[in-house]
Amino acid sequence: MLKINLLGIPLTLAFLSGCAQVVSGDTEDILVETQPKSGAQCVLQNGRGSWALLATPANVTLLRSTTPLTISCRTADGWIGSMTADSKISTLAYADAVTLVGGAIDTQSGAAFDYPERVSLTLQPPPDAGKPRSVFGSDGGRGIAAPLDAAADRARGIDDNIATRFQTLRVLLDEGLITAEEYNSRRGANIGALLRYSMVAPARDLGRPAPPPAELVARLKYLASAYADHSITAAEQAAERATILDGLLPVQSIKRADPPPPIRDSLQLAAEIGRIERLRTAMVITEKEAAAERVKVTQLLDSAIAADETAQRAASGVTQATPLAAGSGVGIALNTFSSEAQAKHAWTALQKAHPADLRGLRLSLRKVPRPHRPSHYRITAGPVADYATATALCNSLARAGTTCEATSFTD
């Protein structure tokens, strides 16, 4: 009996140590389904990458990770949904860790963790534009809002079309039909369609519906296959491929989109913040990009309010009609920022962007109290010779797109 047990020990250890081979695979297949509608496009993301599905139900092969898996889906007619699936260490991986063979490596890399083999995501229908909606939900009991504005509905549809183009570009990358360089260049050239206040204007007409992602994938795969079979020449493949990709998101555009509407009041600001959040949820912009856009639209509203206040003072006769004394009494007021550090960083950037206008001026931060909101910090620079000099300097900066106003200056 003793001999048998002794022989069994190395066999058992060998079997358990073999678990490292079973569970250390770096990838996992997951079936994604959507209810009550199928055919949704989905984006899956964890701490090790992101993956796209053209239509549910479908399997996706992804990298294992210790972080939760976020799944966001949308149908062509506007049904949307999202969910999070947690990763758990597998039973085999636990046994593997007990033997101290490979367990530490697997748990650190995430290879020892599993997501559910099958996930089912419930989609929510799009808002019905023809019915009134409760301000606080269907049973909020606090009154009924007016039907959704038709213009707002059109704007939402345009945003959906734009987001779909960027999601499709990601699908083409994941399918190996475009390179990472092509993805970055096309996304970078048109990111202003998503971040319309903080980035340069994109190509025009990106709000029009684009061909379904499945059609683009199928056509580009056909072109690659036809070229491999010598059915078409390299020039023919390249020409049609470039036309398809330029129709989706062009790298170079002769005509740029019109600038977005100015942010003039808090309702516009709230609507834009909501738009940014929808785009972030759709995973077409990152959290860092969303944060920068939120800062920009808030600054634009603050600048608009300051300009209105200046106009009101001028209309009421409370203006600085005569030049002020030379020296440290006159300067220019520039943008406002939510923190002192942001304002100082922006001042450095402004000096680099406008060296001729701002050369020799000193920075002075002015704290701007705002009712019911945190105070902001406004950049003031000076001194300049007099009020007329400050006004001329502001006119020069305004032509370059920088908000500016003549003001008093103190160090």
* pLDDT for position 293: 92
* pLDDT for position 226: 94
Residue 32's Cβ-side half-sphere holds a number of Cα atoms within 13 Å equal to 32
Residue 203, classed as helix, strand or coil, is strand
- Report the 10 Å Cβ neighbour count for 78: 14
**Beta-strand relationship, 113-114 and 88-89:** antiparallel
* pLDDT for position 130: 41
Instruction: Please list the pLDDT of the chain residue by residue as tens digits (411 residues).
Output: 434 343 343 433 333 334 433 444 678 889 999 999 888 888 888 877 777 777 899 888 888 888 888 898 888 778 888 888 888 865 544 444 444 444 444 445 556 678 899 999 999 887 653 444 333 233 333 333 344 467 777 888 899 899 999 999 999 999 899 999 999 999 999 999 999 998 988 999 999 998 888 889 999 999 999 999 999 999 999 999 999 999 999 998 678 888 899 888 888 899 999 999 999 988 899 999 999 999 889 888 887 887 777 777 777 765 444 444 444 478 898 888 888 888 888 898 888 888 888 988 999 988 877 666 677 888 999 888 888 788 888 888 877 778 888 888 887
Planar angle of CA 165, 170, 173, nearest 5 degrees: 130
- What value does the CA radius of gyration of the chain take, rounded to a whole number of Å? 29
Determine contact, residues 29/61, Cβ cutoff 8 Å: yes
d(Cα 156, Cα 63) in Å, to the nearest integer? 34
Determine contact, residues 130/149, Cβ cutoff 8 Å: no
- Reported in sequence order, the residue ranges of 100-212 that DSSP labels E, i.e. its strands, are 113-114, 118-122
How far apart, in Å, are the Cα atoms of 211 and each of 22, 136, 153, 244, 406? 42, 36, 21, 10, 51
Show the domains of the chain with their CATH numbers. 13-122 (no CATH), 150-258 (no CATH), 320-408 (3.30.70.1070)
| pTM score of the predicted model | 0.52
How many secondary structure helices (H) and strands (E) does the chain include? 13, 13
d(Cα 369, Cα 371) in Å, to the nearest integer? 7
* pLDDT for position 90: 59
d(Cα 323, Cα 371) in Å, to the nearest integer? 32
Best CA proximity match to 34, nearest among 124, 120, 117, 116:
120
